[in-house]
Amino acid sequence: MKIFVTGTRGIPDISGGVEKHCQELYPLIAAQGHEVFVATRKSYVKDPVVHKWRGVRLIHLYAPRKKSLEAAVHTFLAVLKAWRVKPDIVHVHAVGPCLMVPLARLLGMRVVMTHHGPDYERQKWNRPARLALRLGEWLGGCFANEVIVISRLIESLVWQKCRRSSTVIFNGVRLPEKTEKTDYLETIGVQPGRYILAVARFVPEKGLDLLIKAFKEIGGDFKLVVAGDADHEAVYSRNLKEEMAGDDRIVSTGYINGEALNQVYSHAGLFVLPSFHEGLPIALLEAMSYDLPVLVSDIPANREVDLPEERFFRCGDVPDLKKKIAALWNKDLTVDEKNHFRSLLAEQYNWDKIARQTIGVYEKVLKKS
């Protein structure tokens, strides 16, 4: 099969949940003998002369660096490019880019949509942008040949909005090789086991401001490490950086990957995800893969991951977040929890299984055609 992918900023090592999903998934599909093209957004690509990565062909296309236009313009150009490539399947990720699903169908292409979550619930969007995202969700849900969703929650959403069934294929994670190295930790001034870790973009729906407020009120001889940054600088991200810069107990690393990310995950004492909105959080799955104690907001997407009740706090509730951090700090996972996490990740969030399931959806589309 020839598969053309759009809706992502690109791969490899570009921040974002959809980007991580595509980076893990498509090399596995390419390794099965399929020809995979991924349309990237030029402004995010670190090395524009690279046009192939782990068997996946990269097509670098223009995209304006304006959050309200970026996805739609890029996907429009990607659909036109796909028309010339003549793929068997066009796979569109996320509801915003799905505004272009009808165009792809009009051009005679078979389309698979992956719904990664109701992005219109994110606080960063104004009313017109939210309406556009809702429209993209409806157009993708109604006009794609097949719809993939990453959670049961989104499956019910697609049924309610579009009155059609969808295929649940979860996000995944790879079981890592934890590192004993600490040289990166030394450069950022933290000690193994003596910090809370948060991994997220600097946008309101991730709730990092609440975590920072709770952390400052707790006190103690441990630190908070925040790995992430803003894709588009805004008032929220600037205020967040000022808050962190004013406290020497808080370390902001920016976007990190590879050995640096491995070290901060390997040696954290507690992972906290205070989100108001998620699809199915890969950062949480990554923390679980490192056998980290985790504490997450009790939003439906996080609830869908099978965690003990003590590992949830009331979303947006700073006093409850403080209380739960104090209760879980220096409290390691039990043997039963570790075994449960590992079996859950191996059986339900396994990338090899996800690749086979995705290929199955493609074959279903081609068989129907």
pLDDT for the residue numbered 287:
97
- Written as six digits, the tokens of 208 are 């990092």
Q: What is the DSSP string of 40-101?
A: EEGGG-S-TT--EETTEEEEEE---S-TTTHHHHHHHHHHHHHHHH--SEEEEESTTGGGGH
Domain spans, the chain: 2-172+350-368, 183-347
pLDDT for the residue numbered 330:
85
CATH fold match for the domains 2-172+350-368 and 183-347: yes
pLDDT for the residue numbered 182:
97
| Residue entry with tokens 């396994």 | 350
Q: List the pLDDT tens digit at each of the 369 positions of the chain.
A: 999 999 999 999 998 889 999 999 999 999 999 999 999 999 999 899 999 999 999 999 999 988 778 999 999 999 999 999 999 999 999 999 999 999 999 999 999 999 999 888 777 788 888 999 999 999 999 999 999 999 999 999 999 999 999 999 999 998 899 999 999 999 999 999 999 999 999 999 999 999 999 999 998 899 999 999 998 888 999 999 999 998 999 999 999 999 999 999 999 999 999 999 998 899 999 999 999 999 999 999 999 998 999 999 999 999 999 999 999 998 889 899 999 999 999 888 999 999 999 999 999 999 987
pLDDT for the residue numbered 136:
96
pLDDT for the residue numbered 351:
96
pLDDT for the residue numbered 67:
79
pLDDT for the residue numbered 219:
82
- Identify any residues that bridge with 37 across adjacent strands, giving them in sequence order: 4, 57
pLDDT for the residue numbered 98:
97
Instruction: Report the chain's C-alpha Rg in angstroms.
Output: 20
pLDDT for the residue numbered 18:
94
pLDDT for the residue numbered 239:
95
pLDDT for the residue numbered 246:
82
What distance in Å separates the CA atoms of residue 242 and residue 247, rounded to the nearest whole number?
9
pLDDT for the residue numbered 279:
84
What distance in Å separates the CA atoms of residue 81 and residue 4, rounded to the nearest whole number?
9
CB 104 within 8 A of CB 82: yes
Q: Tell me the pLDDT tens digit for each residue of 44-53.
A: 998 999 999 9
Residue 62 CB partners (closer than 8 Å, separation 6+): 41, 42, 73, 74, 77
Q: What is the CATH number of domain 2-172+350-368?
A: 3.40.50.2000
Dihedral-angle region of residue 192 (phi above 0 means left; psi in -120 to 50 means alpha; beta otherwise): beta
Q: Tell me the pLDDT tens digit for each residue of 326-343.
A: 999 988 898 999 999 999
Phi then psi dihedrals of residue 204, to 5 deg: -55, -40
- Identify any residues that bridge with 59 across adjacent strands, giving them in sequence order: 39
What distance in Å separates the CA atoms of residue 250 and residue 243, rounded to the nearest whole number?
9
pLDDT for the residue numbered 325:
96
Of 3.40.47.10, 3.10.450.50, 3.40.50.2000, 3.40.50.300, the CATH number of 183-347 is 3.40.50.2000
pLDDT for the residue numbered 220:
84
Own/partner contacts of 334-343, CB < 8 Å, gap of 24 or more, are 337/308, 338/291, 340/306, 341/288, 341/289, 341/291, 342/175
| Residue entry with tokens 């509801």 | 95
